Amino acid sequence: MSARIVSSGPHRLLPAFAAVGGSLMLLAAFLGDAAPGNAGQLPKDLPKLPKDLPKLPKDLLPKDLLKLPPVAKATTEAATWLRRLPLDKVLDKDWQIVKAKEDLHPGEMLLAGNEAALETNNGAVRLAVHGDMCCSIHTTPVLETALILLPPGDSDLEFALLRGRIELTNTKAKGAAKIKIRGPGESCEIVLEEPGTKVALEIFGRWPRGTHFHKVPKPDERPSISAMLLVLKGEAEVKGPHKHFNLKAPPGPALIEVDDLGESDAAVKHLDKLPAWATEEGNTDRAKLVKATLAKFRKLAVAKSVPQALDELSASDQEVERTTAIYLMGATDDLERLGHALTETKHADVWNAGVLALRHWIGRAPGQDQKLFLALTTKGKFKPGEAETTVQLLHSFGDDDLSRPETYEFLIDLLDNDRLALRGLAHWHLHRLVPAGRKLAFNPWGSKEERTAAVEAWRKLVPPGKLPPKATVADK
């Protein structure tokens, strides 16, 4: 048997995988980050999002969420899942700990870093999170996973995957398990043909290289969203409005990948074996350290609170604990705590993790970078120009930018800026773009005299009007 995917009509983004990827990206634009939280309550003057985004269908989330019966149960220890309701008008607005074996209701937004799992109440499907907070194994940095459970209807499980990577397993005693993934106006159905059949599904967003930030976004400005579906075991059928695919685990037609940056159509890819992240090869020493750190976070969150757990880990003398805390701050939308950690730290690893977490955060959905801009100008007290430059530096430069000497002059000048965020981000880019400069000492937290000396050293390496020297073997 093979697999079938159906795309629901022409979509500029993820045209052939729209039922799985494009629609979920649009769902993330409305639900993934409009939810309340420490940094998620938006100022009233937020620039309007592009007008061409479709409206959220009224039936996606029923109005009376609190009266709906549970659809699943958490099967992992307390605090592997966090949850909150994604609408402004209902009860608690902060992330709450999900206890072991606790009921999970439709409409709840669930968040996890790794090792979280749930099972449907009918015993048909197990959903497990397979993240990568160590940023070392997967080809894309899937730091956390967020999803919203929905009333299952005629399916065994129905949900919206906002971001991240999950594994779905047929846990029935016999027969196929049917899973529906919802988006605005669309749906995708995955049929796990037999008990034990397992698939991985991933949604990941990021801004294309060369994208320029605008305080008021243009209609066509949005992150590109990649989607992946891989059969890990057995056979699966994927059905959408216009296309179907039959897939099977390697060796065989096992994988569908779509990247809206370049692919105009989706096709099944044959794999001889599973990728490293899906096997024991992915269990690296660093992955084990991250796993231990997340276990420590869970214990602290249960004994104290989520914010206190983040504070304690971010102040650790262990690099992996500090960086994991930073990723969790971004995952939980705690931009205020993340900004404080970046301002107060003297550890380069914290700064690097913070940049990656923020780049991940603004890539979730349209409007995220505008939210960050407003957070910087309101809570961070940045001047508009400073905030605009900061958000721009969280995007990647394009080939056109990198071919102009002015780009490097701009970055070098920022090394002596009074704003830590600006000089730190400028150095973050220079360190990656100019390998020969890695030997030059620069401390973003250093004195004015130290920064001035560093700027002069950089200007000798990359004189005004010149491009950087080409990297040598010694530089790499």
**The pLDDT of residue 65 is above 70:** no
- pLDDT (0 to 100) of residue 214: 92
**The pLDDT of residue 57 is above 70:** no
Sequence ranges of the domains in the chain: 15-281, 399-461
- pLDDT (0 to 100) of residue 37: 31
pLDDT digits (tens, 9 = 90+) for 361-395: 999 888 899 999 999 999 889 999 999 999 999 99
**Confidence tier at 32 by pLDDT (50, 70, 90):** very low
- pLDDT (0 to 100) of residue 107: 85
**The pLDDT of residue 24 is above 80:** no
Does the N-terminal peptide bond of residue 251 adopt cis geometry, omega within 30 degrees of 0?
A: yes
Average pLDDT over residues 207-218: 90
Task: Quote the mean pLDDT of the chain.
Answer: 81
**The pLDDT of residue 358 is above 80:** yes
**Confidence tier at 51 by pLDDT (50, 70, 90):** very low
- pLDDT (0 to 100) of residue 137: 46
pLDDT digits (tens, 9 = 90+) for 252-276: 999 988 776 344 466 789 999 998 8
**Confidence tier at 29 by pLDDT (50, 70, 90):** very low
**The pLDDT of residue 215 is above 80:** yes
Average pLDDT over residues 270-290: 81
- pLDDT (0 to 100) of residue 261: 37
The percent of residues in the chain predicted with pLDDT above 90, rounded, is 59
Length of the chain: 476
- pLDDT (0 to 100) of residue 179: 97
Buried b (16+ CB within 10 A) or exposed e, 215-234: eebeeebbbbbbbbbbbbbb
pLDDT digits (tens, 9 = 90+) for 88-115: 444 445 899 999 999 999 988 999 988 8
Average pLDDT over residues 18-31: 29
- pLDDT (0 to 100) of residue 391: 97
- pLDDT (0 to 100) of residue 86: 61
**The pLDDT of residue 277 is above 70:** yes
Average pLDDT over residues 350-369: 92
**The pLDDT of residue 471 is above 80:** no
- pLDDT (0 to 100) of residue 167: 95
CA end-to-end distance (rounded Å), the chain: 47
Q: How far is CA 262 from the centre of its chain?
A: 20
- Say if CB 130 and CB 114 are below 8 A apart: yes
Higher pLDDT, 209 or 265: 209
- pLDDT (0 to 100) of residue 278: 81
- pLDDT (0 to 100) of residue 66: 58
Higher pLDDT, 79 or 92: 79
The percent of residues in the chain predicted with pLDDT above 70, rounded, is 78
pLDDT digits (tens, 9 = 90+) for 158-189: 999 989 999 999 999 999 999 998 754 467 89
Window from 175-184, 313-322, 371-380, 467-476 with minimum mean pLDDT: 467-476
